[in-house]
Amino acid sequence: MDGVRFCILLARAFFSIAFSFALFGEKVRVASFNLQNYLIMDRVVDGKWRKNYPKPEKEKRALRAILKEVDADVVAFQEIGERPFLNELWMDLNVTKGPVYPHAIWMPAGDPEEVRHLALFSKIPFSSIKMLHDIDFPYFDGRQTPDRGVLEVTFNSNGTKWKLLNLHLKSKWTERKDDPDASIRREREARAIRDYLRKSNPPESNPQYLVVGDFNDHRNSSTLRRFLEVNDTPLTSMVPCEDSRGHRWTHHWAKADSYSRFDYILATPPMLKKLVVDSAKIVDGPDSVLASDHRMIYADFQF
């Protein structure tokens, strides 16, 4: 084949791919995964108490298998340790035949005593990154900020600018007897983040963003309601993730043998229109039992 003919065929192929891309758009798979203490801590391993022990390798293998199976374009993490732990996970995924994530973010918690941090892997580049630690709220006789902060990342997919906010709200463990299950603090935390979103992305501007992560509360809680609407104005909707059996729990507390839905993907009305039908899933199977006490959630969005 002569060089001119080869160039013509190559150009035709390129324009065919470009036309198909423009016609069908770009599909982005977004996932959220609480890794359950991917760090060094005192823990029980195989029935024995271990001090200053890393996340067991069998758990790491299971979560890597899930990440490879789901093959998300953007995956938000909660409960990752210091930056070296994220580097370890990145190397394990990128050096082997797993998904390649050229872009990674590690965000330190706002509370210096907090050992669980936020992070994100992405196959698509970021337009901007914000690590929000200065969102504060009143709490009894003082003011507080979200212990882990909020990670806000902006993307551009097929000409559409959209944002993802990764968060991990206060757990149900409480330091105060006058705030059982830390429900008051968690609601105040949610309200403050909601107010930031309303100010930076007014509902009347038809903002396109997702709020994902571990909310540590139920779907009918005041914590979740703060994100869903304000003064009868809809802000976001819950993306209806479910597993292969139609179950929607995402967290298993082994001590009480209880199952709860704590992890969510919340989408603004314009983003919800981009949700691919039947794409919202909760990962089940043997690896999900080993990897974490949370199950990964994910959904596809068409731009």
User: Tokens 């690590």, residue?
Assistant: 131
pLDDT recorded at residue 43: 94
**How many residues are listed for the chain in this entry?**
303
Tell me the DSSP string of 116-164: -EEEEEESS--SEEEEE----EEETTEEE--TT-EEEEEEEETTEEEEE
Any idea what DSSP says for residue 183?
A: H
Strand partners, 29: 300
**Model confidence, pTM:** 0.90
Can you tell me the distance from the alpha carbon of 148 to that of 46, in angstroms, rounded to the nearest whole number? 30
Identify any residues that bridge with 49 across adjacent strands, giving them in sequence order: 44
pLDDT at 20: 41
Which two structure tokens, joined as six digits, stand for 95? 């050096």
Q: Could you say which residues of the chain have pLDDT below 50?
A: 6-11, 13-22
Q: Give exposure, 93-111, as e/b (b: 16+ Cβ within 10 Å).
A: beeeeebebeebbbbebbe
Q: What's the pLDDT tens digit per position in 149-208?
A: 999 999 999 999 999 999 999 999 998 999 999 999 999 999 999 999 999 999 999 999
Residues near 36 by beta carbon (within 8 Å), at least 6 away in sequence? 55, 59, 79, 291, 292, 293, 294
The pLDDT, as a whole number, for residue 61 is: 96
CB atoms within 10 A of CB 6: 10
